[in-house]
Amino acid sequence: MRRTFIHIEEKIARITDSKRTSIELWKSLKGPRATRETRMEVVAWLAVCKFDCRLEGGFVRDWIVGGYSNKPAGPSSSWISYRINPAGTPIPELNKELIPCDLDCHLSTYWPFDIDRFLDLLHKYDIECVVAREDWRYILLLDEHAPTGPFTMDLIEPHVTLTHDRIDFDVNNLSLEKDYTKELGMKVDIQSKPYSIELETIVQNIKDKRFQILRPIDSSMDIRIAKMKSRGWTQMGQPINVIPNPPQKCDAILVPLPTSTELYKHLVQKLKDTIGYQVKILSIEQIKNPALEDAYLAMKHLIAKQCTNKIPNERELFHGTHGIGIEGIVTDGYDDRFWASGKWGRIAK
């Protein structure tokens, strides 16, 4: 795959190689081959190599890997619109037909970000910039009057990076970091079981304009899915609910399932159909326990080998228990030595 897509490595290096010279940068900004995309590469390089940011999102997917580019009809000044956020700040937004549209950079977790120093660097390279501020990010409008056309950039605060660890699509899970000049990174590791989605598969999906959904669907996800499909992308298979592994010191974590998701609504309806409509749902949480998942998948594989069609007779069931039994189930799974017959399943003693 490296031999087939050598141009991907070249683009990665243009953003992550800290040894690039000012002369090289100026050629991408003002030279005869300078384009909107090469100017975006220079701004990304400044963020990644000078401020240790991590580049993620649509620019990595569409430009670095896919090589896709599209500009809407009309003058570049018509590409920009503004919305007013709840604080009354006008936030620049670009025409959604623009590909690549913007840059998404996550600020370093190691030291504070100096926006003035970053703006000074942009000024040094004659890059026009207007800044808007929100609680969790800086929004930059760049090259508003440049002949190549404008683009925006999100500089996302570290605390948001640490807490927003869910991803929407497999093709949006790629990232670039300083001095990894030949490597694509993953925001969340989905190569291990039970997901087993390898980096090479994601690259090929981008080339084929296919994507896989990796989180529960809600109204905001419906909008993202519709946007991808309107750009000619095809959804693959059924959604997979990816939950990142817990920290090493923890055996398992509980992740709240938002009430707006289709999975939440499906589970509530199933529970009411099973128990009765008088049931009151307080909350739904998902368990992420890699050790138990591995054991379950291994047993499922062994059972499948004994089935004539190689498909195990797998079923999703409800289980009821007292509060004291929850922690044991979350960390160690079910223990058949402790049970009593109950109305809706086995009730832990």
Tokens of 8: 């991907």
Which pLDDT score, from 0 to 100, does residue 164 have? 59
pLDDT band at 189 (very low <50, low <70, confident <90, very high): confident
In sign, the C-alpha dihedral spanning 194, 200, 203, 208 is negative
Distance CA 301, CA 295 (A): 10
Q: pLDDT tens digits, residue range 63-122? A: 999 999 999 999 999 999 999 999 999 999 999 899 999 999 999 988 899 999 999 999
> 283: helix, coil or strand?
coil
Which pLDDT score, from 0 to 100, does residue 342 have? 58
For residue 234, how many other CB atoms are within 10 A of its CB? Answer: 11
Which pLDDT score, from 0 to 100, does residue 348 have? 40
- Residue spans per domain, the chain: 6-235, 253-347
CA geometry: angle at 165 spanning 161 and 168, to 5°?
Answer: 115
Which pLDDT score, from 0 to 100, does residue 40 have? 98
In sign, the C-alpha dihedral spanning 192, 293, 169, 230 is positive
Nearest-CA neighbor of 114 among 64, 52, 172? Answer: 52
Nearest-CA neighbor of 245 among 171, 327, 190? Answer: 190
Distance CA 173, CA 245 (A): 15
pLDDT band at 319 (very low <50, low <70, confident <90, very high): confident
269-287: average pLDDT? 88
Instruction: Give the contacts of 344 (CB within 8 A, at least 6 positions apart).
Output: 274, 275, 318, 320
Nearest-CA neighbor of 76 among 103, 98, 102, 44? Answer: 98
CB 44 within 8 A of CB 15: yes
Given a cut of 70, whether residue 171 has pLDDT beyond it is yes
Q: pLDDT tens digits, residue range 118-136? A: 999 999 999 999 999 998 9
CB 33 within 8 A of CB 53: no
Which pLDDT score, from 0 to 100, does residue 130 have? 97
Which pLDDT score, from 0 to 100, does residue 340 have? 63
Q: Quote the percentage of the chain above a pLDDT of 90.
A: 59
Distance CA 211, CA 233 (A): 7
Which pLDDT score, from 0 to 100, does residue 341 have? 61
CB 171 within 8 A of CB 205: yes
Distance CA 318, CA 305 (A): 26
Given a cut of 70, whether residue 346 has pLDDT beyond it is no
Which pLDDT score, from 0 to 100, does residue 279 have? 84
CA geometry: angle at 254 spanning 251 and 259, to 5°?
Answer: 165
Which pLDDT score, from 0 to 100, does residue 343 have? 54
Distance CA 337, CA 319 (A): 15
pTM: 0.82
Which pLDDT score, from 0 to 100, does residue 155 have? 96
Which of residues 262 and 13 earns the better pLDDT score?
13
Instruction: Give the contacts of 146 (CB within 8 A, at least 6 positions apart).
Output: 36, 39, 128
Distance CA 300, CA 312 (A): 7
CATH class, 253-347 region: alpha beta
222-233: average pLDDT? 94
Which pLDDT score, from 0 to 100, does residue 168 have? 93
* CA atoms within a 13 Å half-sphere pointing along the CA-CB vector of 22: 5
In sign, the C-alpha dihedral spanning 213, 216, 222, 224 is negative
138-143: average pLDDT? 97
